[in-house]
Amino acid sequence: MSALVCQKGVATLVEVRRPAELVRHGVIAGVVAGITLVAEEMVATVLLGGNASDPFRLVASVVFGRQALSREFAIWIPLLVGTAAHLLLSVLFGLVFVLLVAGAYQLSARVPLLLLYGVLYGLALWEINVLTVLHLLFPQLAPLMRLDNQIWNGIVSYAIFYGLVLGAYIAFARPGVVAEWKRKAR
């Protein structure tokens, strides 16, 4: 931490927000939240009477169409493509979350607020991804969206098992933590 040198005005502690640091934390947050989300979706799908591979097949069907949903379709393709696509999107959205939090000066926000931001962000993602993008770009998948599926694999998964984890990660890692803040003269 540099010395406090300020002839006129106040020297304050200011968050350090190095772009490379934010990107690194965004990627990690996205991976952690993405793995949590897919694990929860596998469990929820089984509990709702489906097969643990269904979430992968659903993601893969974005690439291969409805045939990827069929049991005859080789499982390793959806597993590979589904996992890759899911993690890629998780990282992308994790990165966006960290950048949004930093952009709104919320890296040092109280823990409950960060968790709330995560939940709201998860809900927003669900709304954009599932309610709008999927509806507009992949209408063939819309009939698959049963209500119970939407509630557990949609709202709850996105808000709690993705968004909340993102918020918790920021609260834990605190990119731009006080100890790293620099004193800056106004």
Partner 1 sequence: MDSGIDLGFPLWIRLTHLFNILFITLLIRSGIEILAAHPKLYLNEDCTPGTEWIRFTPRQMPKDQFWTGKDEQEAYSSWVSLPGGKHLGLGRQWHFLGVLGWVLTGLIYVTLLFVTPEWRRLVPTSWDIFPQAWQSALVYLRLDLPPDGNPFNAAQQLVYFSIIFVLSPLQILTGLAMAPSVAARFPWYTALFGGRQRARSLHFLGLVAFVSFIVHHITLVVAHGLGDESAAIVLGVERGASSTQQSLAVAIMAAWIGFVIVVNVWATRSARHSPRTMQHALQCVIDPVLRFLLHHLDSRQHYRPEQRTMSPRPNGWPPKNAQYEALARDGFTGWALEVRGLVEQPLRLTLADLVAMERHSQVTEHNCIQGWSYVAVWTGVPLRAVLERCRPLPRARYLVLHAMDNKSESEPDPEGPGYFYETIDLTLAQDSQTLLAYEMNGERLSIPHGAPVRLRVETQLGFKMVKWLCAIELIESYGDVGEGQGGWREDFQHYSQDASI
Q: Any contact of residue 132 with partner 1 (CB under 8 A)?
A: yes
CB of 86 to partner 1, least distance (A): 20
Q: Which is nearer to partner 1, 13 or 80 (CB)?
A: 13
Cα torsion 34, 40, 45, 46 to 10°: value is: 130
Q: Name all contacts of 48-51 with Cβ < 8 Å and 24+ positions apart.
A: 48/148, 48/149, 48/152, 48/153
The string of DSSP codes covering 127-173 is IIIIIIIHHHH-GGGGGG--HHHIIIIIIIIIIIIIIIHHHHHHHHH
174 touching partner 1, by CB under 8 A: no
Considering the complex, state which of residue 77 and residue 119 has its C-beta at the smaller distance from partner 1: 119
Task: Select the residue interacting with partner 1 from 107, 125, 164, 168 (CB under 8 A).
Answer: 107
Beta-bridged to residue 183, according to DSSP, are 13
Q: Is 59 in the site for partner 1 (CB under 8 A)?
A: no
Cross-strand bridge partners of residue 182 = 14
Residue 11 in contact with partner 1, rule: CB under 8 A: yes
End-to-end alpha carbon distance in the chain: 17
Examine residue 71 and tell whether it contacts partner 1 (CB under 8 A). Answer: no
108 sits near partner 1 (criterion: CB under 8 A):
yes
Contact flag: residue 18 with partner 1 (CB under 8 A):
no
Backbone angles phi, psi at 96, to 5 degrees: -60, -40
**Smallest distance from the beta carbon of 14 to partner 1, in angstroms?**
5
CA atoms of 27 and 87, how far apart (whole Å):
10
Binding letters toward partner 1, positions 149-168, x by CB under 8 A:
-xx--xx-------------
Under the binding rule (CB under 8 A), the answer on residue 147 touching partner 1 is yes
Token pair in block for residue 47: 């509990």
Binding site for partner 1 (CB under 8 A): 8-15, 17, 104-110, 113, 124, 127-128, 130-132, 134-136, 142, 145-147, 150-151, 154-155, 176, 178, 181, 186
